[in-house]
């Protein structure tokens, strides 16, 4: 998550964007936390905020369907106030508590739905990291840039993108694990894998666990009927 950002033109609305997809094209990337996100409460409501923001950003940026949602599920279990550090992960109840915990965690902390590195990307103003919409746009643009940088034969490589996003070195065990987690999340959400995000080299047990986690969190947030209706 971690170094720079790019942009792709809008192409389509994600299947997860039933909630707000029609307004994605006019969304303001600099807007404050929207009322829908600000009123989210409970783990299901908070996950709903992450997944709805992911869907909007996927549609706006033309990303593969479900990609940002799967990244959020892998990185934070789709929790907008998650704080990760070298020693532990914590889940705050609101943005104010998240900011306090992030400051206490030190410069290596990551935060939000997409676990953005605060010391690298948000040292001066970390509040936006805990805004699902602002962080979804940032994460989506970074993934698009990384996918383009890792392109093979002119086609984006999304496996390279998710590995680089998480800070994993190419070809490393960490890169393999991250690719497998995101691929399993995509499968759990009912989306086909984009180029580079297949399950080759993934262990059956880790795929099953990651997929079950994605289905459980998403079903609580969106309702089981939403998951069942995905293609």
Q: Hey, is 154 helix, strand or coil?
A: coil
Give the Cα separation of 5 and 42 in Å (integer): 31
Question: Which residue from 86, 141, 139, 144 is spatially nearest to 115, judged by alpha carbons?
Answer: 139
Poorest-confidence range of 78-82, 120-124, 183-187?
120-124
The mean per-residue pLDDT over the stretch 71-91 comes to: 93
Q: Which residues contact 65 (CB under 8 A, 6 or more apart)?
A: 12, 14, 15, 16, 58, 191
User: Quick one: pLDDT at residue 15?
Assistant: 32
Q: Hey, is 91 helix, strand or coil?
A: strand
* Cα 167 from chain centre: 14
176-230: pLDDT as tens digits: 999 999 999 999 999 999 999 999 999 999 999 999 999 999 998 887 766 655 5
Q: Which residues contact 37 (CB under 8 A, 6 or more apart)?
A: 49, 52, 53, 80, 131, 132, 133
Question: Which residue from 35, 114, 124, 103 is spatially nearest to 74, judged by alpha carbons?
Answer: 114
Question: Does pLDDT of 16 surpass 50?
Answer: no
Instruction: Select the more confidently predicted residue: 26 or 158.
Output: 158
CA distances from 110 to 56, 183, 198 (A): 22, 22, 27
pTM of this prediction exceeds 0.85 = no
Tell me what the pLDDT averaged over the chain comes to.
Answer: 82
Structure tokens at 93: 């109840």
Q: Is the alpha carbon torsion for 138, 143, 144, 150 positive or negative? A: positive
136-164: pLDDT as tens digits: 999 999 999 999 988 877 789 999 999 99
- Could you state, in order of their start, the residue ranges of all structural domains in the chain? 15-154+218-229
User: Quick one: pLDDT at residue 9?
Assistant: 24
């Amino acid at each position: 998550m971690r170094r720079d950002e790019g942009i792709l033109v809008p192409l389509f609305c994600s299947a997860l964007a039933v909630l707000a997809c029609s307004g994605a094209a006019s969304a303001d990337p600099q807007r404050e936390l929207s009322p829908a996100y600000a009123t989210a409460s409970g783990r299901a409501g908070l996950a709903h905020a992450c997944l709805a923001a992911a869907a909007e950003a996927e549609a706006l940026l033309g990303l593969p369907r479900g990609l940002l949602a799967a990244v959020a599920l892998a990185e934070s279990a789709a929790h907008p106030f998650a704080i990760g550090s070298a020693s532990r992960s914590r889940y705050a109840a609101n943005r104010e508590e998240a900011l306090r915990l992030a400051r206490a965690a030190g410069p290596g902390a990551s935060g939000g739905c997409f676990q953005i590195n605060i010391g690298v990307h948000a040292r001066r103003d970390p509040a936006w990291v805990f805004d699902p919409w602002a962080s979804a746009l940032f994460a989506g643009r970074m993934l698009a840039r990384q996918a383009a940088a890792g392109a093979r034969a002119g086609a984006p490589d999304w496996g390279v993108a998710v590995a680089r996003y998480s800070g994993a070195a190419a070809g490393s065990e960490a890169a393999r694990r991250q690719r497998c987690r995101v691929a399993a999340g995509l499968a759990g959400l009912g989306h086909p894998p984009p180029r580079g995000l297949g399950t080759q080299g993934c262990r059956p047990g880790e795929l099953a666990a990651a997929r079950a986690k994605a289905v459980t969190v998403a079903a609580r947030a969106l309702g089981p009927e939403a998951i069942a209706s995905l293609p």
